[in-house]
Amino acid sequence: MNAMNTSSIKNFFTQNAIYVVLVVLIIGIAVSDPSFLAVTTLRDILLQSSTRAIIALGAAFILITGGVDLSAGRVVGLTAVISASMLQLSEYPQRFFPNLPELPLIVPIALAILAGLIVGLINGVIVAKLSVPPFIATLGTMVIVYGVNSIYFDTEPNQSQPIGGLRKDFTELGSGYFGLDGKYSIPYIVVIAIAVAGLVWVIFNKTQLGKNMYAIGGNIQAAKVSGIRVGRNLIYIYSIAGALYGLAGVLEAARTGGATNNYGNMYELDAIAACVVGGVSTAGGIGTVPGVMAGVMIFGVINYGLTYIGVNPYWQLIIKGLIIVAAVAFDIRKYLAKK
Amino acid sequence: MADHPFILEMNHISKAFPGVQALDNVTLKVRPGTVHALMGENGAGKSTLMKCLFGIYKPDGGDIRLDGETVAIASSKDALAHGVSMIHQELHPVPFRNVMDNVWLGRYPLKGIGPIKFVDEKKMLADTKALLAELDMTIDPHVKVGTLSVSNVQSIEIAKAVSYSARVIVMDEPTSSLTGNEVEQLFKIINKLRARGVSIIYISHKMEEILRISDDVTIMRDGKLIGTWPAEEMTTDLIITRMVGRDLTQRFPERSNVPGDVRLRVEKLTSPQQHSFKDVTFELRKGEILGVGGLVGAQRTELIEALFGMRTIAAGSIEIDGKRVSIKSPVEAKKHGIALLTEERRVTGIFPVLSVLENTSIASLSQYRNGFGLLNERRARMDAEHNVERFRVKTPSVKTLIGNLSGGNQQKVLLARWLLTDPDILMLDEPTRGIDVGAKYEIYTIIAELAKQGKSIIMISSEMPELLGMSDRIMVMCEGRLSGVVDGRAATEEDIMRLAAQRER
């Protein structure tokens, strides 16, 4: 093998480190237990990764602008509770709203997503108009949202009881699937996540907002001078991210058939981890949708795969942490000065 | 040791990057106690050579010798340990710390018992005072560096280098943001260092300076050594010819623009800040190039940033085509057909992690939007490619990250960015700073062509020949006030200097 070949192979690995890690992981697990390579496994991983993917895509918007959003997890909790509270079976004994008539499915879902969007909007306004650093702004809203959600969750007659007895048409959204030829099936929730990813890809790559997002993260001063309405764009971006967390919260409630105010706790960190593992730069300006999806999948494979082959859960944590650091250490080689 | 004829030798250095031979068998020999000018167009390999000296790049071949002994330098820390130090063009002090903290950063003098050490502030203060006194610098060691002028920050960097007992100091474009007086001050310091036997490698594009301060001149072109000559044998024309490898009979293009009606009228424009621009009144015509001269601190940048809506104004008015306008943000300025190419390309110009294409189209994205709010990337790409070709931007493709291009090429991309917004008034702040001679000429040609098309151009420049060679009229500012307007073809450097230095009585 000549020098040119070695360097181009090395180049391929540095450029595609994330996908390589994903493949190596799958191979590693499959070697240790070949039954891992089954269609059902893939479906389960996708199912578990779907809501995570939507949250991570929201988080990616913020990271690419050079910010960070800590409120994501608590927004998921808020919208899970909001949607679940309005979508209980009418015969269920402990209803959140005992006299609520049966609403069209779309109404509570839309209200929950709107709630997420409003939190995002508030984040955006705090960051853009009050010039509070995103870390602090979203730390504040994270705590506030949890407080607001807990008050709502604690209202009479619910008094902080887990919300259960959800309508079948709602839980179907989270656990139903398109059957394909008996054996194969695609869960609705996976289809939704893929559709969201497609939409986000279009925003990132084909819209003015997307280009502005990369520009703001790449050099906010230059963005201002170039006549980009930085504040307005940031508000849009935080709002979209909030709406995505909102959607994820709704799907979490649907998937699990219930909700409490603690839903979504710390999901923001998983989302940020998936993003950075997927090549999103926390310094802003860099990140792609396929990268984020690969990052989410890596964690999906780890969570499912390591449990599948019987790795102790505490060891799983250590492996996850190592992968976060190692993946980013690899990925960053792309941007370091070549020696 | 001291009797070796060269303090630093870089012999037969080669360095290749994928697809480019950045350095091809380059040899640089520096005599002790001399100022050695290193010249070449951007992309000639000067920075790469220096990066090899500092271990940032590992050369593919060749060796580096100090006092005749081969040394291996793997990092700037190694270089420092060998007495080789660099003053960068863009200084990076720690702004919130004071002068002495900056000088002794990373090697604070310590005192204490056993393993418990504290920083010895007293010794640090005494050492700093002694160091500054030795170099005749009058800077208070307690002042926070962020509050100092660029010139003083640079002095501190030099003092720092001296404190490392540097024998070779590389200065990269040291005068690019200094005023006339500050340059004199720097030259005094350089002479003092030279007298102490320190060698300076002086990288600059300013011929007049090079000829004045240097002992030897080494010229590079396209990664190759052209040669080293004693400075007294050189002339500006000779240097330029050797740098570009062709005769550059003219440094400025012929202009055939004809100034027409008044496009912009600025009346008594005054900043809310005490020491900024005051009562500035001027007119700009269609198809006119208006030069703006003055020393650093003349508030020229502040004035045009106010016209671009980046700064507020306390009083005065702006009229465009006879209509009074209020410009409160760059967005509004853009709407009124104004474009601004800022002075600090890296800080307020380029998006280093984005491609040439994205950098070109970012200010004019709305024109590529279709009915669904999606961008027509093909059209944006065609426009970007067209501009890359028109301005002869050296880039492998429009998908290349702009951060990988040389300064001159970045500047051309930024110019393209603004031209895509189709401005009537183009404000250029030091448009050729840090750009090599060949690219400068190209940028001048573009400016002249735009004026001919009827665009109105305001060009701030600190380079006299540029002001005189390119402007129809030159307005000169001094300490925030307009001190005079002269005809660009009739004026002399002395006329401008006199106006620029005119103190308020």
| DSSP letter for each residue of A153-200 | HTSTTTTTPPB--B-HHHHHHHH-EEEETTTEEEEHHHHHHHHHHHHH
Query: Mind giving me the DSSP string for A114-145?
Result: HHHHHHHHHHHHHHHHS---HHHHHHHHHHHH
* Average pLDDT estimate for B34-54: 87
Interface contact flag, B363 A227, Cβ < 8 Å = yes
- d(Cα B77, Cα A111) in Å, to the nearest integer? 59
Say what angle helices A188-206 and A208-218 make with each other, to 10 degrees.
Answer: 70
Interface contact flag, B365 A219, Cβ < 8 Å = no
Residues of chain B contacting A285 with CB distance shorter than 8 Å:
351, 353-354
Nearest residue of chain B to residue A212 (CA atoms): B362
Coil, strand, or helix at residue B300? helix
Q: Looking at residue B301, what is its pLDDT?
A: 92
Distance between terminal CA atoms of chain A?
A: 22
Residues of chain A contacting B348 with CB distance shorter than 8 Å:
219, 221-222, 224-225
Interface contact flag, A286 B421, Cβ < 8 Å = no
**pLDDT tens digits, B158-168:** 998 888 888 99
- d(Cα B402, Cα B355) in Å, to the nearest integer? 5
**pLDDT tens digits, A133-179:** 999 999 999 999 999 999 999 998 888 999 999 999 999 998 888 87
Q: Where along chain B do the CATH 3.40.50.300 domains lie?
A: 8-244, 250-337+423-505
Q: Looking at residue A339, what is its pLDDT?
A: 43
Handedness of CA B72, B77, B80, B82 (dihedral sign): negative
Q: Which of A221, A229, A285 sits opposite B354 (nearest CB)?
A: A285
- What percent of chain B is predicted at pLDDT more than 90? 48
Which one of A8-22, B40-54, B372-386 scores highest in mean pLDDT?
Answer: B372-386
- d(Cα B159, Cα B141) in Å, to the nearest integer? 12
Residue A235 exposed, middle or buried by CB count within 10 Å (0-12, 13-18, 19+): buried
Residues 263-292 of A with CB under 8 A from B: 281, 285-286
Nearest residue of chain B to residue A223 (CA atoms): B348
Q: Looking at residue A181, what is its pLDDT?
A: 67
Residues of chain B contacting A339 with CB distance shorter than 8 Å:
56-58
- d(Cα B189, Cα B201) in Å, to the nearest integer? 14
Q: Is A13 on the interface with B (CB under 8 A)?
A: no
What is the CB neighbour count within 10 angstroms for residue B248?
14
ipTM, interface predicted TM-score of the complex: 0.79
Q: Which of B17, B331, B354 sits opposite A218 (nearest CB)?
A: B354
Count CA atoms closer than 13 A to A24's CA, side-chain side: 9
Residue A183 has pLDDT above 80, yes or no: no
Residue B457 has pLDDT above 80, yes or no: yes
Q: Is A224 on the interface with B (CB under 8 A)?
A: yes
pLDDT-derived band at B504 (thresholds 50, 70, 90) equals: very low
- d(Cα B305, Cα B273) in Å, to the nearest integer? 14
pLDDT-derived band at B208 (thresholds 50, 70, 90) equals: confident
B332 to chain A, minimum CA–CA distance in Å? 8
More confident residue, B393 or A199: A199
Residues of chain B contacting A215 with CB distance shorter than 8 Å:
351, 354, 358, 362
DSSP letter for B206, please: -
Residue B338 has pLDDT above 70, yes or no: yes
pLDDT-derived band at B3 (thresholds 50, 70, 90) equals: low
* Average pLDDT estimate for B225-231: 93
Average pLDDT, chain B: 88
Residue found by looking up tokens 């040291």 in the block: B174
Interface contact flag, A214 B354, Cβ < 8 Å = yes
- d(Cα B268, Cα B274) in Å, to the nearest integer? 15
DSSP element (H, E) containing B427: strand B425-429
Residue B454 exposed, middle or buried by CB count within 10 Å (0-12, 13-18, 19+): middle
* Average pLDDT estimate for B470-488: 91
pLDDT-derived band at B404 (thresholds 50, 70, 90) equals: confident
**Do residues A108 and A173 touch, judged by C-beta distance below 8 A?**
no
- d(Cα A295, Cα A289) in Å, to the nearest integer? 10
DSSP element (H, E) containing B438: helix B437-452
DSSP letter for B280, please: E
Interface contact flag, A215 B310, Cβ < 8 Å = no
DSSP element (H, E) containing A328: helix A313-331
pLDDT-derived band at B502 (thresholds 50, 70, 90) equals: low
Query: Mind giving me the DSSP string for A198-222?
Result: HHHHHHHHHBHHHHHHHHHHH-HHH
Residue A330 has pLDDT above 80, yes or no: no
- d(Cα B204, Cα B214) in Å, to the nearest integer? 11
* Average pLDDT estimate for B305-323: 93
- Strand ranges, E, within B297-417: 315-320, 323-325, 338-341
Measured CB to CB, residues of chain B less than 8 Å from chain A are 17-18, 56-58, 308, 310, 330-331, 333-334, 340, 342, 347-354, 358, 361-363, 365-366, 369, 373-375, 377, 417, 421
- d(Cα B289, Cα B427) in Å, to the nearest integer? 10
Q: Which CATH number fits domain B8-244: 3.40.50.300, 2.30.30.90, 2.40.110.10, 3.30.870.10?
A: 3.40.50.300
Residue A160 exposed, middle or buried by CB count within 10 Å (0-12, 13-18, 19+): exposed
Residue found by looking up tokens 């084909």 in the block: A206
Nearest residue of chain A to residue B414 (CA atoms): A226
Residue B262 has pLDDT above 80, yes or no: yes
**Do residues B166 and B138 touch, judged by C-beta distance below 8 A?**
no
Query: Mind giving me the DSSP string for B88-152?
Result: -SS----TTSBHHHHHTTT---EEEETTEEEE-HHHHHHHHHHHHHHTT----TTSBGGGS-HHH
Residue B146 has pLDDT above 80, yes or no: yes
Q: Residue B102's closest CA among B53, B134, B139, B76?
A: B139
Rg (CA), chain B: 24
Residue B42 has pLDDT above 70, yes or no: no
DSSP element (H, E) containing A324: helix A313-331
DSSP element (H, E) containing B65: strand B61-66
Q: Looking at residue A338, what is its pLDDT?
A: 46
Q: Looking at residue B505, what is its pLDDT?
A: 37
Interface test with B, best of A211, A225, A288, A334 (most B CBs within 10 A): A225
Residue B8 has pLDDT above 60, yes or no: yes
**pLDDT tens digits, A18-35:** 788 888 888 988 888 888
* Average pLDDT estimate for B472-490: 91
* Average pLDDT estimate for B388-414: 88
Residue B1 has pLDDT above 90, yes or no: no
B296 to chain A, minimum CA–CA distance in Å? 22
Coil, strand, or helix at residue B174? coil
A115 to chain B, minimum CA–CA distance in Å? 25
Q: Looking at the domain B250-337+423-505, which fold is it?
A: Rossmann fold (3.40.50)
**pLDDT tens digits, A293-320:** 999 999 999 888 888 888 898 998 898 8
**CA dist A111 to A79, A234, A258, A267, B428, Å?**
8, 23, 17, 21, 50
B428 to chain A, minimum CA–CA distance in Å? 13
Interface contact flag, B330 A212, Cβ < 8 Å = no
Number of H helices, E strands in chain B: 16, 22
Q: Looking at residue B485, what is its pLDDT?
A: 93
- d(Cα B435, Cα B416) in Å, to the nearest integer? 16
Which one of A106-120, B176-190, B491-505 scores highest in mean pLDDT?
Answer: A106-120
Alpha-carbon B21 to chain mean position: 26
Residue A5 has pLDDT above 90, yes or no: no
* Average pLDDT estimate for B233-247: 78
**CA dist B99 to A50, B82, B159, B175, B227, Å?**
54, 24, 10, 21, 40
